[in-house]
Amino acid sequence: MKKSTIFSALLLLATAVTYGQGNVQLVPGSGNVCNPMPVTFSISGNSFNPVSYLWSTGETSPVIEIVNSGTYTLSITGYHGNSQNLTTITKTATYNVLPVPDITALTDLWVCKLDTVRLTAVSGYDAIYWSNGATGENFQKVMNSPGTPGSPGLDTMSVSYIASITNVCFSKSETVMLRSIRRPPGVGAFYEGKMDIKSTDSIPAGLVNEYLFPVSYEMVFTEIANPANVITYTTAPGSRKAPASMLNPGSAYHVVSTPIIAGKHYCHGFTSTIGIQGPSINRLSTLFTPDEGLNTFKVFDVQGRMLMEKQDTDFNQEWLDELAPQILIIQRTGKTNETVRAQFVK
Say yes or no to pLDDT of 341 above 60: yes
Q: How confident is the model at residue 80 (pLDDT cuts 50, 70, 90)?
A: confident
316 contact partners, CB below 8 Å, separation of at least 6: 310
280 CB contacts (<8 Å, ≥6 apart)?
342, 343, 344, 345
Q: What pLDDT score was predicted for residue 302?
A: 78
Banded pLDDT at 21 (limits 50, 70, 90)? low
pLDDT at 147 over 70: no
What mean pLDDT is predicted for residues 166-171?
92
Q: Average pLDDT, whole number, for the chain?
A: 83
Per-residue pLDDT tens digits for 257-273: 888 887 888 887 788 89
- Residue 245: pLDDT band with limits 50, 70, 90: very high
pTM: 0.61
Assess whether the previous peptide bond of 36 is cis (omega < 30° from 0).
yes
pLDDT (tens digit, 9 = 90+) per residue, 186-201? 787 788 888 888 889 9
Q: pLDDT digits over 91-132, tens only?
A: 999 999 999 999 999 998 988 888 899 999 999 999 999 998
Between these two residues, 64 and 260, which has the higher pLDDT value? Answer: 64
In eight-state DSSP terms, residue 236 is P
Contacts of 262 (CB under 8 A, 6+ apart): 213
Q: Is 208 a residue whose pLDDT tops 90?
A: no
At 318, the pLDDT band (50, 70, 90 cuts) reads confident
Q: What pLDDT, on a 0 to 100 scale, did the predictor assign at position 331?
A: 92
**DSSP single-letter state for residue 135:** B
pLDDT for the residue numbered 151:
46
Maximum alpha-carbon separation in the chain: 147
Q: What is the pLDDT of residue 73?
A: 95
Average pLDDT rounded to a whole number, residues 218-231: 91
Among 78-82, 263-267, 273-277, the range with the most confident prediction by mean pLDDT is 273-277
**pLDDT score recorded for residue 249:** 86
- In 3D, which of 103, 126, 124, 106 has the Cα closest to residue 115? 106
The residues, ordered by sequence, that sit 6+ positions from 342 with a Cβ below 8 Å of its Cβ are 250, 278, 279, 280, 281, 287, 327, 328, 330
> Binning pLDDT at 50, 70 and 90, where does residue 2 land?
very low
Q: What is the pLDDT of residue 243?
A: 93
Domains, the chain, in order of start with CATH, read: 3-97 (2.60.40), 104-181 (2.60.40.10), 202-275 (2.60.40), 285-344 (no CATH)
At 284 the pLDDT is: 56
